[in-house]
Amino acid sequence: MGKSILAKWGGIKEQSKLLWKNSSPASAFGAQTITINGINDYDIIFIEAGDHTSNYTNSGWVSVVPAVWPFFTIVDNLRADANEDRTRTGEVRTNAIYFSQAWIRGSVDNAGCIPLSIYGYKIIPTPNFSNIIQLF
């Protein structure tokens, strides 16, 4: 992940940490809660999700700001021309992240929207931070 514009201006320092990694990324991923002690100490949570068990190397990112809105949706577009989006919802909870089952066309299909890794991201103001805030 690259530096944000605020970090480039010198207003904040960023600190990220891998909090969880899926040990079976090519396996179906049913509804579950993953315990991550200290997850609530992070300002932003990034969830990397794979598109399908047969091709899980294609991944995307979902970002969650728990203090503002702890809920998220992962969308896996299987075939844009066929309107076959697989979705999985979730929520950042106290010391855990809940993932629902994945759905496609009204049926459960846990072979997609598979969480691959979870990162915690802290934003730490520096002495220049007050100068940056005045710009907004």
Mind giving me the DSSP string for 34-84? EE-TTGGG-SEEEEEEES-TTSTT-EEEEEEBTTTB-EEEEEEES-GGGT-
For residues 13 and 57, give the distance between their C-alpha atoms in angstroms, rounded to a whole number.
30
User: How would residue 126 be classed by pLDDT, with cut points 50, 70 and 90?
Assistant: low
pLDDT digits (tens, 9 = 90+) for 83-102: 567 889 999 999 999 999 99
pLDDT for residue 78 is more than 80: no
Residue 6 has a pLDDT of: 46
- What is the radius of gyration, based on Cα positions, of the chain? 17
- Whether the CB-CB separation of 28 and 110 falls below 8 Å is answered with yes
Residue 132 has a pLDDT of: 46
Q: Where are the domains of the chain?
A: 5-133
For the chain, give the mean pLDDT: 78
pLDDT digits (tens, 9 = 90+) for 7-41: 554 555 667 899 999 999 888 999 999 999 999 98
What is the average pLDDT across 126-132?
56
